[in-house]
A and B are shown apart, each in its own frame.
Chain A
C-alpha cells in the first residue's frame, strides 16, 4: 500500500471535522482537523500537506484566503473547498484561484472521499476507494 496522504481539514463547525475525520481516515489518509483558520495556516506553514479541505465562510479568515496561502506555499497541494453558501460566482472564483474542487454542503462523506481519490490520482498517487472501504467493513 502507498504512503498515506496527509490531509488538513479546516471547518469552524466542530461537527464537520468530527464527522469527516473518521470517514477520510478510512481511505488511507492522515487527517489533522482545525476549527481556527489562523491555527490551520500556522500548521500549513510548518508542514506540506497533500490535500487541504477548507470551509469558505469563517470568522477571522475565509477559505479563499486559505486557498491563496496554501498554493503560495505549495503548488502541488490540492485544495478542496466546502461551503454551505454555494453560489455560481463563488464557485467560479475558487476554481480561478486554483481550487481543485468545490463541494456544496450538505454532502455525503463519501462524496468527499471520491474527490480526495481524484486529487490523489492527479498527484500521481492512487486510492482504491472500494477496496479500502471493503477492508474497513470486515
Chain B
C-alpha cells in the first residue's frame, strides 16, 4: 500500500493536511513526534536531534560535522524502517530527501498558504513580512538540504506533485491527495518494496558506520551492500576491516563490498611535512 510524504515551509498547514489525510485514509502518521522515540532508542539528546534537522554542522553551534551526519543517519534509518510498513503519511522528517525513487511513495510539495499564518499570528504581521520570513527559511532549508543530501528541498523535480495552497483550499488538497493515493499506479509492488528495503538496509549500515567513522557512502541492491570510503593509504586495511566488522552486525546483508578511494588531499598535505 502507498506512502505519502509531504514537504512544506508552512509547518502548520503541512501538519493539518497530513493529519486530515491520515484520518481519512486510516493511515498511520510519522512526523516530528517521532524524534523523541528516535532519541530514546539511540540515547541522544532529543532537542539536539531536532536541532540537527534544522541547522548545518558548525562548531559554534556545538554541532560538529561527524555528529551531525550521525544524527541524520539515525533519523533516516528509523524513518525508512517505519515506511516499510506502508499505509503511512509522513512529514517533518526530511523523508522526501532520502526516499528518492520508490514508486509506491507519493511525494508532495506544499507551497504558499501564508495567509493562514497572517490570520493566526500576531496582528502586526503583514503578508510581506511573512513572505520575507518564509524566503529566509527557504534559503536556510536549501542550505541544509544541499549539505545533507546534495539536493534543493524546494526543487519541484524532487516531487510527484506540487500544490499551491494560495490557490487550492486545504480541504481540496486533502481530497485530491486522498483520491490520488488510491490510484493503481501507486500500488506497492515487488520492485518498489525491494527498493525501499534496500534503502532501509543501506541507511542502517550507514548509521552503524557513522557512529565511529566518517567519509562513508552506502548503497544497497538486492541485499548486496556497497560501502565506498576514503582514507590515507596507510589506513586502508584498518578502515576496510573496521567497516566489514561494523557492517557485519546489521541483519539482512547478503553480500558486503567495500570500495576504497585514496584521500589525495591528506596524502599530499602529509607529503609536504
Contacts and interface: CB of A to CB of B under 8 A. Distances in A.
A103 interface: yes
B190 A111 contact: yes
A92 B102 CA distance: 10
A68 to B, nearest CB: 14
Given A91-B103, A92-B103, A106-B222, A86 B191 contact: yes
Contacts, number: 41
Interface stretch (A9-17, A94-102, A125-133): A94-102
A92 B191 contact: no
Contact of A101 (B101, B183, B185, B190): B190
A1 interface: no
Interface in A80-113: 86, 88, 91-93, 95-96, 98-99, 101-104, 106-107, 111
B184 A95 contact: yes
B190 A102 contact: yes
A104 B197 CA distance: 14
A92 B190 contact: no
Interface in B83-102: 101-102
Contact of B192 (A91, A99, A106, A115): A91
Contact of B184 (A86, A96, A107, A115): A96
B189 A95 contact: yes
A93 B185 contact: yes
Interface in B189-205: 189-192, 194
B187 interface: yes
Contacts of B191: 86, 91, 102-104
B186 interface: yes
A86 B190 CA distance: 11
A98 B103 contact: no
Interface size for chain B: under 10, 10 to 19, 20 to 34, or 35 or more residues?
10 to 19
Contacts of B190: 101-104, 107, 111, 115
Nearest to A80: B190
The listed residue with most B CB atoms (<10 A of its CB), out of A93, A95, A99, A101, is A95
Contacts of B186: 92, 95
Nearest to B102: A88
Contacts of A101: 189-190
A41 B192 CA distance: 28
A111 B254 CA distance: 15
Contact of A96 (B102, B183, B194): B183
Interface of B: 101-103, 183-187, 189-192, 194, 222
Q: Which 10 A-B pairs have the closest CB atoms?
A: A92-B185, A96-B185, A102-B189, A91-B103, A88-B103, A103-B190, A102-B191, A104-B191, A95-B187, A88-B101
Given A91-B191, A101-B190, 4 more contacts: A95-B189, A96-B185, A99-B189, A103-B189
20 contacts: A86-B191, A88-B101, A88-B102, A88-B192, A91-B103, A91-B191, A91-B192, A92-B185, A93-B185, A95-B103, A95-B189, A96-B183, A98-B184, A101-B189, A102-B189, A103-B191, A104-B191, A104-B194, A107-B190, A111-B190
